[in-house]
Chains A and B, each alone.
Chain A
Amino acid sequence: MIKIENVSKNFLINGKEERVIIDFNININKKEIFGLVGETGSGKSTLLRMLNGFIEPDCGKIYLMDRELNKESKHELVRDTSMIFQDFNLLGNLNVLDNVLLATKFRKGNKEDLIKRAREILEFVGLSDFERSYTRTLSGGQKQRVAIARTLMTSPKIILCDEPTSALDDKMSYEILKLLKEINEKFETTIVIVSHDISVIKALCSRVAIIEGGKIVEVLSLNPKEIHPISYKEALISD
């Protein structure tokens, strides 16, 4: 589904060329939930942005669905991917329904069918009663659900998640992780998730790449367990 071949990326930081990503090679399978972990500045978010063509690699090649991602193909391929951001990136001047419908404005489709589909997706993410609400009235978890609903509107084959739970408390994080798992199972979507939170990676990912100093030091296979909600008491007294 995703093939990363000898990808490197340098950035000019304070006038000095720094190697952020050094010779990455990863294969991510269809329907897989793949994790990227590493310290801040290790290049995980940069890699995620290279996977939808927002940032171009300096060298190496990226293939999505067996097609090479380059200047010519990226605007077409990006339509099969979607991204979930740490800060949700919703438009505050649009209500929930309009935020969810936003991506469909750049694609063909019958307006009434799209609204019907948006309502179905809002029901799936548990926000049916909030379609006319504005984002300022929503909690962090609800905002991320809107962002996920927006993501699902385009039926993406790949979802890229950049720290999707880092702005949320434990309970909200659990809700979002459960939702991502359901999406992966129901829609067979490939998910690439960047997180500094090990529990998030352990809960979701079948494989994880550990990034240190701009290099992949290891790719581990994990056995994700069923996700359970955890109370503050449980979290405090558990080892």
Chain B
Amino acid sequence: MINNYIETFSKYQGQLLNAFIETIDMMFTAMVFTILFGMVFGFIMFITRADGIYRNKLMYFLVSGVLNVLRSIPYILFIIVIIPFNRLLIGTGFGVDASKIPLSLIGISTFARFVEQDFLDVNKNIYETSYALGANTLQYLTHFLLVEARSGLILSFTSTTISLLSYSTVMGIIGGGGLGYLAISEGYQNFNYSLMWIIIILMIVLVHFVQTTGNTISRKYDKR
């Protein structure tokens, strides 16, 4: 049985490597957009919510509403309905590059909610302290909120990354490729269950690695 797995691994190692690179490619772009925009939208929601420092019902409703819509559409349907948007943005609806768009959007909507929650967990009096020390709103974000929320944000980003890894496995339906697509097309649909299990084990190792790394970094930066 083990020999069968070793044989399959040897036979498909080239394809596995390509699929792994495709997954990393999709993930990297999505993670960059997720951290940038997720942080911005999370901060906007945090300051505009009912008890926020710049209370603005309309702004909160709009940002929160759009993020909720993105998260509530079943992901496999979301990938399909967003194809015209992919075309509009990068000129094609299919392929690895097009896959990065829905993956980034779902990452942003998930992470922004985490960011809002992580900021809410920070001692509320810190805003008054920042004001009393002469900081403006941006300095409040960079020198106070991010400093105090950093370990929570690292864990939240870790969870989002793992979710993105899971979402990336279905990108095959628009030609996104990746490990998940290889497991389904070459493994499950071609009755090559050894390949499917090899990829499942690879994904488990990958998730474990991401989570352990996230936990370690978070612990390192948590001095509270």
Contacts and interface: CB of A to CB of B under 8 A. Distances in A.
Contacts, number: 68
Interface in B170-199: none
Contacts of A171: none
A81 B148 CA distance: 24
A91 B147 contact: yes
A106 B134 contact: yes
B140 to A, nearest CB: 10
A108 to B, nearest CB: 12
Interface stretch (B7-15, B98-106, B123-131): B123-131
Interface of A: 49, 52, 54, 75, 78-79, 81-83, 85, 87, 89, 91-95, 102-103, 105-107, 134-136, 150, 154
Nearest to A89: B129
A83 B132 contact: yes
Contacts of B125: 85, 87, 89
B121 interface: no
Interface stretch (B70-78, B83-91, B216-224): B216-224
Contact of B223 (A54, A79, A95): A95
A82 B223 CA distance: 26
B144 interface: yes
B58 interface: no
A166 B143 CA distance: 28
A81 B223 contact: no
Nearest to B133: A103
Contacts of A49: 128
Contact of B129 (A85, A105, A136): A85
B135 interface: yes
21 contacts: A49-B128, A54-B128, A54-B132, A78-B131, A81-B132, A85-B129, A89-B129, A91-B147, A91-B148, A92-B223, A92-B224, A93-B150, A93-B221, A93-B222, A95-B223, A102-B133, A102-B143, A106-B136, A135-B224, A136-B223, A154-B134
Most B CB atoms within 10 A — which of A49, A78, A93, A154?
Answer: A93
Contacts of B148: 91-93
Given A92-B148, A134-B224, A154-B133, 20 more contacts: A52-B132, A54-B132, A75-B136, A78-B132, A82-B132, A82-B133, A89-B125, A91-B126, A91-B144, A91-B147, A94-B147, A102-B143, A105-B135, A105-B143, A106-B134, A106-B135, A106-B143, A107-B134, A134-B223, A154-B134
A150 B135 CA distance: 14
B134 A75 contact: yes
Most B CB atoms within 10 A — which of A87, A102, A107, A134?
Answer: A102
A106 B142 CA distance: 12
B222 A106 contact: no
A81 B125 CA distance: 17
B212 interface: no
B92 interface: no
B139 interface: yes
Interface string B91-123: 000000000000000000000000000000001
A81 B134 CA distance: 9
